[in-house]
Amino acid sequence: MRVVFFVVACLAPMSLLVPPGRSADTVPTPKTAASPSARPQTLDASAQRAVLDRYCVVCHNAKLKTGNLELDKLDLVHLGDHAETGEKVVRKLRAGMMPPAGMPRPDPATMNGLITWMEKELDRSAATYLPAPGLHRLNRTEYNNAIRDVLGLQVDATKFL
């Protein structure tokens, strides 16, 4: 009896959250297609290079080295080889710190496209540089199989483990 009362007491306030004339299982369907201007434009490395050359390389080049960055030499095809620089650029762009005030800025769709493309490239290359997992502890079956394969002995691992 107490359990039933407790369940009813907990569920009664939740019924107030459902508006009248609407069932609880009716869920509005979200819009699947975003407007073209809201979607980030992800293009290939040459298109992203053009964006960097137009908005970033003006200050971050081999001659000026503003912020110790030489983005004119950054190889976007192999961005994972320069992951530290790529992460630094993404952080500054995502925070809205670059390009600085007074300098020309790309439209939001182009900026989001560049950030998204750089993040995907960095993530894609990071997956290829995962360290070896190392050794793991063997369970009984694996231990039994290892002893049998390496030493050629039939051992009942359940007696010893």
pLDDT tens for each residue of 9-26: 555 555 555 555 544 444
CA 128 to chain centre: 15
Mean pLDDT of all residues in 133-154:
90
Measured CA to CA in angstroms, residue 75 lies from 3, 48, 52, 65, 128 at distances of: 66, 11, 11, 16, 18
Lowest-confidence pick of 17-21, 44-48, 133-137: 17-21
What pTM was estimated for this model as a whole? 0.56
| Residue ranges of domains in the chain | 45-128
pLDDT tens figures, 71-92: 999 999 999 999 999 999 999 9
CA-to-CA distance for 90 and 92, rounded, in angstroms? 6
